[in-house]
Amino acid sequence: MELYITGDTHGDFSRFRPESFYEQERLTKEDVILVAGDFGGVWYGDSRDDAGLNFLDSRPFTTAFVSGNHENYDALAAYPQAEWHGGRVRTIRPSVLMLERGQVFDLGGRTFFTMGGASSHDIQDGVLEPDAPDFLWRFQWLNAQGAAFHCGPTSIQNDLLGPLSKPDALTDFLEEIGQRCQFKYHFFGHYHRNEIVRKKCVLLYEQIIRLK
Residue 61 has pLDDT above 90, yes or no: yes
Average pLDDT over residues 33-43: 91
Positive or negative, the Cα torsion across 145, 203, 119, 56? positive
pLDDT-derived band at 113, boundaries 50, 70, 90: confident
Quote the percentage of the chain above a pLDDT of 90.
42
Question: Is the model more confident about 164 or about 105?
Answer: 105
Q: Are 39 and 67 within 8 A, CB to CB?
A: yes
Average pLDDT over residues 129-151: 56
Cα distance between residue 110 and residue 89, in whole Å: 17
Q: What residues are paired with 110 via a beta bridge?
A: 107
Q: Is 142 exposed, middle or buried (0-12, 13-18, 19+ CB in 10 A)?
A: middle
Q: Are 79 and 90 within 8 A, CB to CB?
A: yes
Cα distance between residue 34 and residue 208, in whole Å: 9
Q: Are 71 and 38 within 8 A, CB to CB?
A: yes
The answer to which of 14-18, 92-96, 107-111, 157-161 has the lowest mean pLDDT is 157-161
Structure confidence at residue 203 (pLDDT)? 83
In the chain, the DSSP E strands lie at 3-6, 32-36, 62-66, 81-84, 87-93, 96-99, 103-107, 110-114, 186-188, 195-196, 201-203, 209-211
Average pLDDT over residues 83-99: 96
Paired sense of beta strands 186-188 and 201-203, if any: parallel
pLDDT-derived band at 59, boundaries 50, 70, 90: very high
Average pLDDT over residues 182-195: 79
Instruction: Compute, in degrees rounded to 10, the torsion defined by CA atoms 52, 53, 54, 55.
Output: 50
Please name which of 181, 49, 45 lies closest in space to residue 115, comparing C-alpha atoms: 181
Please name which of 98, 120, 108 lies closest in space to residue 170, comparing C-alpha atoms: 120
Cα distance between residue 59 and residue 95, in whole Å: 9
Q: Are 99 and 79 within 8 A, CB to CB?
A: no
Average pLDDT over residues 163-173: 77
CA within 13 Å, CB half, 90: 15
Structure confidence at residue 175 (pLDDT)? 81
Positive or negative, the Cα torsion across 63, 68, 71, 77? positive
